[in-house]
Amino acid sequence: MPSCRSWLLLLVAANAATVFATEESIALSTEQAKRGGIVTAALADMKATGGIRLAAQVVVPPSQIEVIAAPLPVLVASVRVAHGETVKKGQMLARVQGAPLLELQREFAQARSQASLAAESLRRDESLYADGIIPQARLSATRAAERQTALALAEKSQSLHLAGLAEPNVGGSLASGADIRAPFDGVVLEASAQPGQRVDAMTPLFKLGRISTLWAEIQATPAQAAGISVGDEVGVPGCPSGARISVIAPQVDAHDQSMRLRAELPYRVPCVRPNQFVQVDVRPAETSTSYAWRVPAGALTRHLSRTWVFVEVPGGFRPVAVQVLEESAQSSRVAVPVDASERIAIKGIAMLKGVWLGLGAVEP
């Protein structure tokens, strides 16, 4: 067990680390740096020319999604498409059957007959009123009745259209089933309908999406997002150029503390699919990367929740706080607020940090 004296020395060293960790220069001669194994490199040779590789998911914009629901309580007799299939406008998706379909056609035929009788009554009363046989009040009542029956007929006609039924001919037979068809060219995002399933009215059967334009929902850390601006170019492997950042969410996700960025992908060729996970390269504009460099991972050190590099100055080194934009096992893309002509330490960082924190020194 460590003695009380050992614990006291550790506490003094910890306090010294907090006191001496400043941005003042670390006095170190060239010979001392050499003996300490310190190696430097020019920032100009570390220019971050590539983009930031980030994870993204391809999604269909909400404005291009439409849900197709059951028009009435029916039985799903058959399903003709599945999740992920591409469909054309008017293509049959499913066929449904049920007594409510027959009732709807009967109600339409009844409304059509009533509308025809009301129109005939209106023509007769208009003739009688012109001859002075009936008063204005009766003609007004007949006109109101005709308008009501016309509206009822329009309602039933629209209901038939929504149910996928054609208007039955006068005196003709009624259809026992209806076809659910695609209202536009698109892709099946969800297909919840199952053959033999009984569903209630307005139960979702399919979700279709237009794919003229897709979104890439990009996930980034706050530090990575800090170096990205609206309008920056986004590269998707296998896709033609043209995608750009359109939205940067101002808040972080409560679950993983990441930020969401969005890029619009013009769907010229089918290089990506809805719900696909991809790796994208965000290429910030030159104005936002003029101080961005890709430095070796060993050139960075952490202290007091900040990341630092050691910039070479006459007579030693100066610790400079940097912003990490992208981090990997081999290298990191950082924003260093110094001139490109400066040099930074890429080896011997542990020794420099020890001197900086007052925990050690290099022999003169």
Read off the pLDDT band of 275 (50, 70, 90): confident
Looking at 241, 267, 288, which one is the last position of a domain? 288
Reduce the DSSP state of residue 187 to 3 states and report it.
strand
Residues 186 and 230 in one domain: no
User: In which residue are the tokens 């897709």 written?
Assistant: 214
Residues 105 and 164 in one domain: yes
| SS3 letters across 208-267 | EECCCEEEEEEEECHHHHHCCCCCCEEECCCCCCCEEEEEEEEEECCCCCCEEEEEEEEC
Residues 223 and 281 in one domain: yes
Write out the residue range of the structural domain in which residue 216 sits: 52-60+211-288
Residues 258 and 189 in one domain: no
Looking at 175, 195, 227, which one is the last position of a domain? 175
The total number of structural domains that make up the chain:
4
Residues 245 and 297 in one domain: no
Is 364 within a domain?
Answer: no
d(CA 78, CA 165): 16
pTM over 0.75: no
d(CA 53, CA 159): 51
CATH code for position 255: 2.40.30.170
CATH code for position 112: 1.10.287.470
CATH code for position 35: 2.40.420.20
Single-letter residue type at 355 = V
Is 81 within a domain?
Answer: yes
Could you read off the pLDDT of 226-272 as tens digits, one per residue? 778 888 889 888 887 778 899 998 888 888 888 999 998 876 557 88
Least confident of 45-54, 82-91, 122-131: 45-54
Could you read off the pLDDT of 107-136 as tens digits, one per residue? 999 999 999 999 999 999 999 999 889 999
Residues 321 and 351 in one domain: yes
